[in-house]
Amino acid sequence: MSDKKVLLEIPNLDEKVELSIHSGTLGQEVVDIAPLAKKGLFTFDPGFVATASCESKITFIDGENGILLYRGYPIEQLAEKSDYLEVCYLLMNGELPSPEQKQKFTRQILNHTMVHEQIHKFFTGFRRDAHPMSVMVGTVGALSSFYHDALDITQPEHREIAALRLIAKMPTLAAMCYKYYIGQPFTYPQNDLSYSENFLYMMFSVPSEKWQPNPVLAKAMDRIFILHADHEQNASTSTVRLAGSSGANPFACIASGIAALWGPAHGGANEAVLDMLMEIGDVKNIPKYIEKARDRNDPFRLMGFGHRVYKNYDPRAKVMRETCHEVLKEVGKTNDPLLEIALELERYALEDEYFIEKKLYPNVDFYSGITLNAIGIPVNMFTVIFALARAVGWVTHWNEMVSTPGFRIGRPRQLYTGHDQRDYIDENNR
């Protein structure tokens, strides 16, 4: 931490407070505001636009230049050269695995791909037409009622087995959500398949037919998992950290992250993008929707555009667009009308002065929906896929926090603008 200081003059205290400035490896410096509390002052930053909630070594985003690093490695290189389980190892352990470490880690994951048979009973309580994200929140949260052999989060081994179980079981639970929704029998994992092949197998195979993995679609799925694996202190990761700061069960904390991710401003945007493209319906309608997006009085937003941190092209969106073209070619939908609208919408938006002024670029969700749709995944499963992939990020941030000596419960303060103290009024005097 650097020894730079900033001097804050506090008018009604008639004194100056010295605050330390800390520098990280990359990115913005931070002002340590802890001394302000002793002066009876809070900072005020709704939405945490300018607030660093923690110190972390996992992921770094340079929003101005559209850079995303997982443990220092650029997302473009990982998407091209790595695979999702290797990225999980990297995020969790901080280094790329040796061949032996990768083999051991893969075996550990495969040993946990099945869920307890009792979990099947949790599904039957849901309506068949329940949104799959509601089922994911419920069933991942239900994992907190199992595994009492490893509930002491102060034990590194207990934290590690919780992480391995989570990463291994998310595809199984996600596929079960889909099977339950469409009324088909659950499919058990096949551990001779790769992680992504196994997921597609559990999603699309049926007992009455032989199923063969499509290597192009499996590779695309794996790349989508890599792109969504982690993203610093986004809303859902911050939710997991805050829940975890009380010492809560790790699976319950992950369920809180799934709940936060569901919103259309966050992970629910991939589903909202496809709904938006279908609503636009034809490229000739694009100008009308761009106008709606520019109108501050119109709540319509161009879903899949804009980002709290990226004020340049989201590097994940570029990789996703390439993946989208590969998948559409593989499934013979190169003239997909939704892609045509998306490409034209992107061209319009990138040339429009409103979007240029607001620095609104496509984000990871803009092309993921079209890609997932072409793979055959229904729209209401898009955010479930996002949750599946992000589970490793959530659990890695949770572990980074709970393994930090002396970590404290998160407890933000507020600016109170409600009533001053007043006395109770009896009912007959109101």
Q: What is the residue whose two structure tokens read 């506090």?
A: 10
Nearest to ligand SDX of 186, 313 (CB atom): 313
C-alpha distances in angstroms, 227 versus 64, 265, 322, 387, 425? 19, 18, 12, 12, 58
By the rule CB under 6 A, 364 interacts with ligand SDX: yes
Stretch that binds ligand SDX, among 88-96, 115-123, 265-273, 274-282 (CB under 6 A): 265-273
Give the nearer residue to ligand SDX in terms of CB position, either 204 or 382: 382
Measured CA to CA, the distance from residue 202 to residue 173 in angstroms comes to: 10
Single residue of 112, 116, 158, 308 touching ligand SDX by CB under 6 A: 308
* Active-site residue (options: 22, 158, 266, 325): 266
Other C-beta atoms lying within 10 Å of the C-beta of residue 67: 17
- Is residue 189 exposed (0-12), middle (13-18) or buried (19+ Cβ within 10 Å)? buried
Applying CB under 6 A, does 276 fall inside the site for ligand SDX? no
Using CB under 6 A as the binding rule, whether residue 293 contacts ligand SDX is answered as yes
Per rule CB under 6 A, count of chain residues that contact ligand SDX: 22
Contact between residue 240 and residue 254 where contact means Cβ atoms under 8 Å apart: yes
- Note if 230 is an active site residue: no
Active site annotation includes 3: no
Nearest residue to ligand SDX on Cβ basis:
306
Tell me the C-alpha to C-alpha distance, in Å, between residue 133 and each of 267, 268, 383.
11, 10, 7
Distance CA 209, CA 142 (A): 32
Query: Where in 212-251 is the site for ligand SDX (CB under 6 A)?
Result: 231, 234
| Neighbouring residues of 34: CB distance < 8 A, sequence distance ≥ 6 | none
Shortest Å distance, C-beta 232 to ligand SDX:
6
Rounded Cα distance between 430 and 427, Å, is 6
Choice between 119 and 137, CB closer to ligand SDX = 137
Q: Which of 228, 231, 365, 397 is catalytic?
A: 365
Token readout for 414 is 């507020």
Binding mask 322-361 for ligand SDX (x = CB under 6 A): ------------------------------------x-x-
Q: Catalytic residue among 307, 314, 336, 397, which?
A: 307
325 part of the active site = no
> Looking at the annotation, which residues are catalytic?
266, 307, 365
What are the residues binding ligand SDX (CB under 6 A)? 231, 234, 265-267, 269, 293, 296, 301-309, 358, 360, 363-365
